[in-house]
C-alpha cells in the first residue's frame, strides 16, 4: 500500500481518491473547496492545507486539475524539489501534450518519475472505479503506476511516451463530440418525420449507425433512463469541458498541420452552445441546439 497525495478533489478527483482509500491506500488530499476536503475526510482520507503539505511524504502524487496552466503551476521546480526521490507523479488532468511533456521533463530531471494519465468514463466511472486510463510515459513508470490506477479504473492503456496519453485522449473526445452531434442530428430528423425516438434509436443500434452515444448515452430525453438527457442534462460531462477538449484537439491539429474539419465544426457548435449559457450542463444537450427551428 502507498502513501498517496491527491491534488484536485472535484467531481472526478474526489471519487477517485475515495476509491484509493477503499483499496487500502493512505490518501491525503488538497483542494480549494472545503466541501471537497470534507467529503474526502468522510471517505476515510486525510486533508492538508496546501498541495505542498499533502505531497511532502508521499510515495505517489496524483493530480486532477482543470487546465494545463494549473498543472504547470503545481509541478513547478519548488514543488518537485520538495518531494522524496523517485516519487511517482501521475497527472490525470486533460491538458495539451506540450505542457504534459514539459512538466514530465522537469520532474524526471529532478529524480522523480512521471506519467500523464488522462481518463475516460465520466463521473459515473469515477464513482464506480471503472475509468479508462490512457497513459503516456516510460514503460517502467507505467508498470509502477498500473496497480494504483487499477484501484480507480478497469481499462489501463499505455499509449506511448510522455504526452501520448493526452494526444490519445483528445483524439477520443473529438470523435465522441462528432458522433454525439451526428447521433443528435439523426434522431432529430427522425422525430421531425414522426418517428418514435426510442424505436429509431433501437433501429440504428442494430444497424450501421451504431455508436457509443446510441448505446449508452442517448441524447434524447426519456429514451435511456440513466443518461443525462433523462435528468434534464444534469451531471455527466459538461459542455465547457467538451469545448475545452475540442480546443485542445484543434491546437494539436495546427501543430502537426493535420486537417480536422469535423472536429473544428464540432468545436464551433459547442462554443456557440456554451456561449448561449449552457456550459455547465451535459454535452449531449447539443441536441437541443440542433433542434432549434431552422
Residues forming the active site: 169
Separation in Å, CA 57 to CA 8, 110, 148: 18, 16, 17
Q: With contact defined as beta carbons under 8 Å apart, do 139 and 146 qualify? A: no
Please report which helix (H) or strand (E) contains residue 63, including its range.
Answer: strand 60-63
Dihedral of the alpha carbons of 112, 32, 237, 177, in degrees to the nearest 10 = -60
DSSP conformational letter for 284: G
DSSP conformational letter for 275: I
Query: Long-range pairs for 71-80 at CB < 8 Å and ≥24 separation?
Result: 71/95, 71/99, 71/100, 71/103, 72/99, 72/102, 72/103, 74/7, 75/103, 75/106, 75/107, 75/114, 77/106, 77/110, 79/51, 79/52, 79/55, 80/106, 80/107, 80/110, 80/112
Cell of 184: 443528435
27 φ, ψ to 5°?
Answer: -120, 130
Angle 170-240-12 from CA coordinates, rounded to 5°: 70
Amino acid at each position: 500500500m502507498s502513501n498517496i497525495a491527491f491534488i484536485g478533489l472535484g467531481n472526478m478527483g474526489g471519487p477517485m481518491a475515495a476509491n484509493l482509500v477503499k483499496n487500502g491506500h493512505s490518501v491525503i488530499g488538497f483542494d480549494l473547496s472545503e466541501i471537497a476536503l470534507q467529503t474526502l475526510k468522510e471517505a476515510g482520507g486525510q486533508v492538508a492545507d496546501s498541495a505542498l503539505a499533502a505531497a511532502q511524504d508521499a510515495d505517489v502524487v496524483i493530480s486532477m486539475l482543470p487546465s494545463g496552466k494549473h498543472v504547470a503551476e503545481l509541478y513547478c521546480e519548488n514543488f518537485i524539489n520538495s518531494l522524496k526521490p523517485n516519487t511517482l507523479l501521475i497527472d490525470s488532468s486533460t491538458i495539451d501534450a506540450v505542457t504534459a511533456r514539459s512538466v514530465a521533463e522537469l520532474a524526471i530531471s529532478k529524480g522523480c518519475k512521471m506519467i500523464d494519465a488522462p481518463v475516460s468514463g465520466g463521473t459515473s466511472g469515477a464513482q464506480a472505479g471503472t475509468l479508462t486510463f490512457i497513459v503516456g510515459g516510460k514503460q517502467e513508470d507505467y508498470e509502477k503506476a498500473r496497480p494504483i490506477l487499477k484501484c480507480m479504473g478497469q481499462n489501463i492503456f499505455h499509449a506511448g511516451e510522455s504526452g501520448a496519453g493526452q494526444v490519445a485522449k483528445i483524439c477520443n473526445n473529438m470523435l465522441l463530440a462528432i458522433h454525439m452531434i451526428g447521433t443528435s442530428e439523426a434522431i432529430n430528423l427522425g422525430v421531425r418525420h414522426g418517428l418514435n425516438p426510442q424505436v429509431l434509436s433501437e433501429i440504428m443500434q442494430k444497424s450501421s449507425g451504431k455508436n457509443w452515444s446510441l448505446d449508452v448515452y442517448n441524447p434524447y430525453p426519456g429514451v435511456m433512463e440513466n443518461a443525462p438527457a433523462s435528468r434534464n442534462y444534469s451531471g455527466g460531462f459538461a459542455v465547457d469541458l467538451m469545448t475545452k477538449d475540442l480546443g485542445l484537439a484543434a491546437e494539436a491539429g495546427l501543430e502537426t498541420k493535420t486537417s480536422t474539419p469535423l472536429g473544428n465544426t464540432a468545436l464551433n457548435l459547442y462554443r456557440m452552445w456554451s456561449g448561449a449559457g449552457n456550459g455547465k450542463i451535459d454535452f449531449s444537450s447539443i441536441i437541443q441546439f440542433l433542434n432549434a427551428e431552422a
